[in-house]
Amino acid sequence: MFKKFTLITIITIILLGPIGQFVMFKFTPLYNLNLLTKLYDDATWVKGKPKIVIMGSSHARYHIIPKIMAKLNDGYELKDIVNIGENAASPFRMYTSFMKNRKKFSELETVYYTLEPHMLGEKYYTYNTYEEILLNYGQWHYLESHHKKKNNYFYPFQTFVNSLTFKATNRSRTNGYSALKHKKFNPYSKGKVSKQIYEPLELFPVSSFGMEAFKKLKKELDKQGTELIFVLTPTYSWIKYYANECQAYDDMLVKQLNESVGKVKVIGSFWPEDFNLSYEDFKDDTHMAHSGSVKFTQKVFTDIKKHTVLKTKRLKNTFSYRLQ
């Protein structure tokens, strides 16, 4: 029935012509119809009512292993811990997935959310299926001229069609974790991290839309007594350049996170030496291979009861966190 309704809507919009499509999808709530599909619904495969959910982007999906967490911690079975992290997932995506599966998550003790600074700015919208529509003309023009991105500003209907999702993923076999293999890769070099994340900062600030999603998620978790803990996962050379090149961006990010979520617990670190990781422990510069994920999970989640006694604090610069 919904597919039929969607098809009729699309045909109607096509008949309106390009100008009508632009107005309807840029300046009315019509674009939000895509959220009625399986778009940003990353927990359909979850069964029962888990105690722990791991959220975030690929850094959650590929770096935190529920099976190891369950083995290391008494009182938890594999069914109690699920990882719904997804590639390029934004805070809005995780919030939407949570709300679409609200009943499943009503008995959560903890949400571990991987914090990825480079994915929390407006420059990353081009990788976010829903958020792409939020880019303004000036941003698209810059991305086209400096990053060779196709300028989609005047094609919101095409963006809408591309966002329609009718098939959900199923990662129940591993409770959401996906293993990566090491491959030869080239580390980052000077200037590439800042260019990728935010430059120029006045044009691509931290995403206020993403911060609002964090705020909404935190509010829902607080209502049911679920604790939110941010997790920092190691990179290879990325963190060195981020710390040196992205102070202004990180200052902005931390300020807005503090305003959105308040005091919070933070575990982990971006620095690979904190986990004795080598080049072979990485699939690429920002993703660990399975061997690295094993080391990380064992180091950070050996005794999750210790996380309950950590004090909540205002966030400081993300690159300043080191493993204790």
Treating both helix axes as pointing N-terminal to C-terminal, what angle do 208-223 and 91-100 enclose, rounded to 10 degrees?
30
Close Cβ partners of 25 (under 8 Å, ≥ 6 residues apart): 13, 31, 133, 156, 157, 159, 160
Structure tokens, 258: 């503090």
pLDDT attached to residue 19 = 72
Per the listing, tokens 């999970």 go with: 297
Average pLDDT, the chain: 94
Domain ranges in the chain?
49-129+167-320
> CA 284, CA 238: separation in Å to the nearest integer?
10
At 192, the pLDDT band (50, 70, 90 cuts) reads very high
- Per-residue pLDDT of 194-252, as tens digits, reads 999 999 999 999 999 999 999 999 999 999 999 999 999 999 999 999 999 999 999 99
Residue 120 has pLDDT above 90, yes or no: yes
At 14, the pLDDT band (50, 70, 90 cuts) reads low
> Which segments within the chain are labelled E, that is strand?
52-55, 81-83, 110-114, 227-232, 265-268, 282-284, 287-288
Neighbours of 60 (CB within 10 A): 27
Residue type, 300: V
pLDDT attached to residue 15 = 58
- Per-residue pLDDT of 146-171, as tens digits, reads 999 999 999 998 999 999 999 988 99
Residue 67 has pLDDT above 60, yes or no: yes
| Structural fold of domain 49-129+167-320 | Rossmann fold (3.40.50)
Overall average pLDDT of the 20-35 stretch? 84
CA of residue 224 relative to chain centroid, distance: 22
pLDDT attached to residue 124 = 98
Overall average pLDDT of the 6-23 stretch? 66
Residue 102 has pLDDT above 70, yes or no: yes
Per the listing, tokens 């709530």 go with: 29
Overall average pLDDT of the 111-121 stretch? 97
Q: In whole angstroms, how far apart are CA 42 and each of 47, 87, 90, 124?
A: 13, 11, 12, 20
pLDDT attached to residue 23 = 75
At 88, the pLDDT band (50, 70, 90 cuts) reads very high
Residue 82 has pLDDT above 90, yes or no: yes
